[in-house]
Structure formats: structure tokens, C-alpha cells
Amino acid sequence: MQARVAVLGGGQLGWMLGLAGIPLGCEFTFLDPGAGATAGAVGELIVGALDDVAAALRAATNATVVTYEWEGVPAATARALESGAPVYPPPEALDIAQDRIVEKTKLRDLGIATAPFVAVDSLDDLHAAVDIIGLPSILKTRRGGYDGKGQAVLRDPADVDGAWPRLGAVASILEGFVPFDRELSIVAVRARDGEIRCWPAVENGHRDGILRLTRAPAPGLDDALQERAEAAIRPLLEDLEYVGVCCVELFDLGDVVLANEIAPRVHNSGHWTIEGAETSQFENHLRAILGMPLGSTAPRGPSAMVNCIGAMPDRDAILRIPGAHLHDYAKAARPGRKVGHVTVTAPEPETLEARLRPVIALCDRAVLP
Ligand code: AMP
């Protein structure tokens, strides 16, 4: 039976959903504002804004199920489609992920530890919040920030007055600055029948606020750390009666993890699963939303994923490296843009590191035309 999957958003995440879904017998329609959207290569592309409900209804015509690949999709668009087909993950997940106060409050209510936080709606609020949270702390806009944008670190009292207008004097959150050892994330999938499976927690390195390198499983991952990471996502998926893949970004402080951000979709830190796990996050997302049995989330061995930021590396040089798998999103080169990624697999960690070094060097050397 062919299933028709309507996807709100048509970037590389949609493209990889398509690549995973075609062998499962799925056909895809994507809604994206860009006529050249990456996912157009693997399905029908409806060009329209994501807040254009009429265009979204067109994209969802005859859909078996509707999903989304971007947490910025207006929840109103997702809800408008619910009368025609199930929308998974639930649109409530968008309400939560789009507002940092709602997000952190939800996590706290579920007993998932976060950095201390206070809502800030004025400069006076900000001074009061600094008195409560202390310094250093980090001011973030409640809405619209991503990849480190819309944030200011407050290190001493003189930073406070300038940060508020610099972020646009908009509704914000002040968070305590977490002295983490490293950043992790946990990607999980919940099926329609409530079964939850988690991939191993991974370690993420960022550059200029953009994910650069994921190591999977996170080096040193033991059962206790995996349990702590899963405890930061399982209650959320159960509470929302979530269906599909979700990611929670975490700070690792050694004996405790804190949840920082929820991404109610397939996630960049899960790209390694395509070659590195028994079942990829993209395939399991589709299996979940279509009511199919979930696949194993076990890793096949150690792996790592390097994002290609700005421009693609030398293709043939990458392909000559054993265990290197190139993913070129066919996007125009542009500073700061995610244009592809390389996953490296190996039988054991030492070989992985030896293969990874030239991949990182080639990605660093990629130049903008
Ligand atoms: P976010 O947009 O919340 O994902 O934050 C982007 C990056 O800023 C994170 O990946 C961290 O490196 C850093 N960051 C965010 N929040 C905090 C915090 N409360 N304490 C320390 N670093 C943070």
C-alpha cells in the first residue's frame, strides 16, 4: 500500500525523510516557501509560506498522515490540517518548542531538570531576574532564536542595560549560565501504541552556535548516563502522547544532565543514524507516524557526523576515506549555511578517530566559491 506523507517544510530534513520513506512505499508532498527547496528532489513540492493554510491544505490533499520537519511551523497551520489526516507529532509540541518559557516550564513540571530561569518582559524585569539568577547568566528571546541567535551572555552588571535593546527589547528568558562539561543530545521515537525507543545519547560540538560534530554514542557513555538522558525525554513523550521522533538537547555536568531545548522533529544530531544505527531516525519517524512497527535503535558501532557549513568539501577526497558517507543537500554555498554532512563509521573508536581527522580537515578547508 502506498502511503502519502505530507511534510510541512522542505529542507534537508524533509529530503532525508523522503530518502528513508521511498523504500517503505511512501510518496511525499512538501510545503516550503522556496521553489528550489532541497526536498523537491524526492517528492512533490508545493511552494507556499508555512502560515498559508490554503497552501498547506493543498499539500495535505489525500495525505495518509501529516508531519513537519521544522519546529517553526505555525501550530495553527498544523492544527488546520487535523480534520483531514492525523498530524504527528502533535501540534502542542510546536507550541512548547516555539516559546522558551513554555518549554522550560513544561520540562520543570515533568520533573526534568533545567538551568534556573525567569521570564523577562522589560529592562526592570531583567534587573530583577539578574538579582534572582545571578551572573553569569544568559538572556535569550522567548521566540525565534536558533543556532545561538537571539542570545546574550551577561558576565558582569555592566552588560545588563546593553543586552536588553540588543536583543530587541522583546519577551525573553534569563537562564543561569551552566558550567557544563559537554553538550549531549538524546533522540527518541514514540510509536502510536506508546512504545518508546531511544538511540544512544550523543556528544555534540558547536562552532559559532552551529552544530559541527556529533560523536555517537557519546564517548564514555555508560548505562547510568544513558538512563539520565532518557529520563529527560521519556516523560515528555508520554505526557504529550507524542508520535514520531523528538530530540532533547542536554548539558552534561558529570553526575547530572540538564535539558536545554526540545526539537519536536528529526534532528541534526541524529543524522549519524542513517549509517550508524540499525534504523535511522528518519525511517523510525515514518514508521511511527504511519503506525508501522519501530526498528532497532542500536548503534552498529562508533560513528561521527561532521556538518558541512558554508560549502561542501572536496567530494572525491571524502569518498576515498573508508567509512566516510557523503550527504550533499545540493544547496548553494553561503556562509553559515548547512549544505551537507559526512558520517564516518568504523569498527572501533581508534579507527573512527583516524578516519574522522581527514574528514574534519577537508570540511574545514571547504571554501566558498
Ligand atoms: P540554544 O539556542 O538554547 O540551543 O543555545 C545555543 C547554545 O548556547 C547551546 O548549545 C550552548 O552551547 C549555549 N547555551 C545555551 N544555554 C546555555 C546556558 N544556560 N548555559 C550555558 N550555555 C548555554
pLDDT in tens, 251-286: 999 999 999 999 999 999 999 999 999 999 999 999
CB burial string 222-258: b at 16+ within 10 A, e below: eeebbebbbbbbbbbbeebebbbbbbbbbbbeeeebb
Quick check: helix, strand or coil at residue 81? coil
User: Cα separation of 60 and 354, whole Å?
Assistant: 46
CA of 138 to the centre of ligand 1 (A): 8
Tell me the average pLDDT across 102-129.
Answer: 98
Q: What is the pLDDT of residues 155-197, one digit of tens each?
A: 999 999 999 999 999 999 999 999 999 999 999 999 999 999 9
Is residue 145 pLDDT above 80, yes or no? Answer: no
Give residues (CB < 6 A) around ligand 1: 115, 138, 145, 148, 175, 177-178, 183, 206, 209, 249, 260-261
User: Cα separation of 178 and 200, whole Å?
Assistant: 23
Instruction: Categorize the per-residue pLDDT at 43 as very low, low, confident or very high, splitting at 50, 70 and 90.
Output: very high
Q: What is the pLDDT of residues 211-250, one digit of tens each?
A: 999 999 999 999 999 999 999 999 999 999 999 999 999 9
Angle between the 281-289 and 12-21 helix axes, to the nearest 10 degrees?
A: 70
Instruction: Categorize the per-residue pLDDT at 146 as very low, low, confident or very high, splitting at 50, 70 and 90.
Output: low
- Cβ 186 vs Cβ 233: under 8 Å: yes
Average pLDDT over the chain, rounded to an integer: 97
Tell me the average pLDDT across 9-19.
Answer: 98
- What's the pLDDT at 2? 86
CA of 140 to the centre of ligand 1 (A): 9
Tell me the average pLDDT across 332-357.
Answer: 97
Tell me the average pLDDT across 37-49.
Answer: 98
> Mutate which of 260, 268, 269, 307 to test ligand 1's pocket (most atoms within 8 Å of Cβ)?
260
Is residue 147 pLDDT above 70, yes or no? Answer: no
CA of 148 to the centre of ligand 1 (A): 7
CA of 219 to the centre of ligand 1 (A): 21
CA of 336 to the centre of ligand 1 (A): 18
- What's the pLDDT at 367? 78
Tell me the average pLDDT across 129-146.
Answer: 93
CA of 155 to the centre of ligand 1 (A): 14
Nearest CA to ligand 1 atom 5: 148
Picking from 101, 41, 39, 46, the residue whose alpha carbon sits closest to that of residue 70 is 39
Is residue 148 pLDDT above 80, yes or no? Answer: no
Tell me the average pLDDT across 71-97.
Answer: 97
Is residue 207 pLDDT above 80, yes or no? Answer: yes
Is residue 368 pLDDT above 80, yes or no? Answer: no
Q: What is the pLDDT of residues 319-343, one digit of tens each?
A: 999 999 999 999 999 999 999 999 9
Atom of ligand 1 nearest to the CA of 115: 19
Give the residue ranges of DSSP H helices in 232-348.
234-239, 273-276, 281-289, 315-319
Is residue 149 pLDDT above 80, yes or no? Answer: no
Nearest CA to ligand 1 atom 8: 148
Taken in order of first residue, the domains within the chain and their CATH numbers are 3-87 (3.40.50.20), 116-176 (3.30.1490.20), 182-365 (3.30.470.20)
- What's the pLDDT at 231? 98
